[in-house]
Structure 1
């Protein structure tokens, strides 16, 4: 492979990324939920640490950085599809899956930037065993506190907290299919479909497998929804490093999604 062309030009740095984040419209002092792909940024001097530093620089000392730190493998194996596992394994997994521990359990498939925030000094993490979020900054505890087991991505979740704090969403080199805030709109629909969920947690200090019922979420149409939302002009688009990025007010995206779902999805009626 010829890497000369690949590495042409100057590398991206903490300072250059922070300047591009500011140019995109990141608001100092705001609450910013970031979904990201480190690879999309190109060659960054300092890797994910420099990216997190740049995000914190753009937000300033009064801003709060939020990232997804989900652990979808801590779930009922009967629903696993990529890949599925034999039915004979299900009881073994339910009995032996390690309990979720906010301080120890790594996120899965959320990327190196999210994992770097999760382990950053002073970071706080919500307690949901499948869809936790981590936050850094003055509003971190307010964002992650009170994340109910049966309200994965609803009003009691960090998504609801970002909404109450009038926060923003940054898609850093990823598309709307990664925009978890659109799930908050599903919770705001009348009579959304519901699904039985399961996970391993600590209950009274002991590992336990627990069941609950929650909204049956789906991102199958998020890209199409996102294209329509982009067309409204409410999304700032531009480069950060080598990545194509989108920045939006979360309330605008969620409000649009509620209307879009009402038009394009069939809802459950009693």
Structure 2
């Protein structure tokens, strides 16, 4: 069984430094048993980035009605009336993006962004800057936490998580100048200033397939495709953290590569 000191030492060997702005994606199964459990893993990462560092995660929401309202789909009036509104301080996290995110949300002084389906959580010196603002219609693109994360020199940490988990590449999808980007509409229940639930309609890029060729069931999406191509360049760090094979990426570098990859292969020039 690994302990907090081992995890912290592994992270430093991987290249995590004090003062880092770090976005983590983790597989607890891949990490294996750790003394103190997931809370100790969060504490290890926070120790590695130090008091001047910041830790981020992609929390989303376990009650997001994204699929139920996607592209005009309708909830019954009863389900709509009984659906809970999103509240950053009490909402659960979507387990499909990693159980560790719930422990990150529950960490003292953690802050969470206001976008229900794409909510981010952050702890540390830049937490407030990372999570505000985060409005509907700007989940991952311009004006989003991901844009600020990239501009602030963030790093992406995969702790045993697969390469399709590099959320920051959704920012590359959003800003790449390529024709035919897919967009979606959906609704989210929010609280108005009077504490009443309102259903907000929004439109955004399709993060499940920015182009039709990346929206085929069972086939890699753009994030996985770009991340695999990027790893072949060897511009990253990788190694063990506990039992997990892990990766450390420079966010700005992988985003710039992702934009170039999309524009070269799917931009107007590449289609002629």
Note whether the superposition's TM-score is higher than 0.5.
yes
For the aligned residue pairs, the C-alpha RMSD in angstroms reads: 2.0
Q: Does 1:53 align with 2:43?
A: yes
- Which is further off, 41-50 or 70-79? 70-79
Listed one character per residue, the Cα deviations across residues 150-190 of structure 1 (whole Å, up to 9, x for unaligned) are 10011322211211211100011111211110100111023
- Give the deviation of 1:193 after TM superposition: 3.0
Does the 8 Å CA contact 2:54/2:122 hold for their aligned counterparts? Answer: yes
Q: Which deviations, in whole Å up to 9, do the C-alpha atoms of 1:44-71 show, x marking residues without a partner?
A: 1111011011101110111000011111
Flag as ranges the 4+ runs of structure 1 deviating above 4 A.
Answer: 87-91
How many aligned positions are there?
A: 252
Map 1:4-153 → 2, pairs under 5 A = 11-71=1-61, 73-76=63-66, 77-79=68-70, 89-109=75-95, 110-153=97-140
Name the TM-score, length of structure 1 as normaliser.
Answer: 0.87
Report the TM-score, using the length of structure 2 for normalisation. Answer: 0.87
For 1:65 and 1:264, the matched residues in 2 are separated by 33
CA 1:163–1:88 in 2, change beyond 3 Å: closer, same or farther?
closer
Answer yes or no: is the 8 Å Cα contact 1:95–1:209 preserved in 2. Answer: no
Segments of 5+ residues of structure 1 without an aligned counterpart are 1-10, 81-86
* Contact 2:70-2:186 at 8 Å conserved across structures: no
Structure 2 gaps of 5+ residues are 210-220
Alignment match, 1:199 = 188
My pick for the range that moved more, 119-128 or 108-117, is 108-117
User: Quick check: 88-97 or 250-259, which moved more?
Assistant: 88-97
Cα gap change, 1:42 to 1:101, in 2 (>3 Å) = same
For 2:91 and 2:21, how far apart are their aligned partners in 1?
24
2:232 is aligned to 231
In the alignment, the residues of structure 2 paired with residue 168 and residue 141 of structure 1 have an alpha-carbon distance, to the nearest angstrom, of 18
Structure 2: how far apart are the matches of 1:199 and 1:72? Answer: 13
2-structure distance, mates of 1:225, 1:259 = 10
**Per the alignment, do residues 261 and 177 of structure 1 end up closer, same or farther by CA in structure 2, a change over 3 Å counting?**
same
**Residue in structure 2 matched with residue 158 of structure 1 by the alignment:** 145
Please state whether the residue corresponding to 2:133 is helix, strand or coil. coil
Q: What SS does structure 1 have at the residue aligned with 2:246?
A: strand
Query: Per the alignment, in what secondary structure is the counterpart of residue 254 of structure 1?
Result: helix
Instruction: Give the drift of 1:218.
Output: 2.6
1:124: Cα distance to partner?
Answer: 0.7
- CA offsets, 1:117-159, max 9 Å, x none? 1011111110101110111111100110111111001132221
1:91 to partner: Cα distance: 4.2
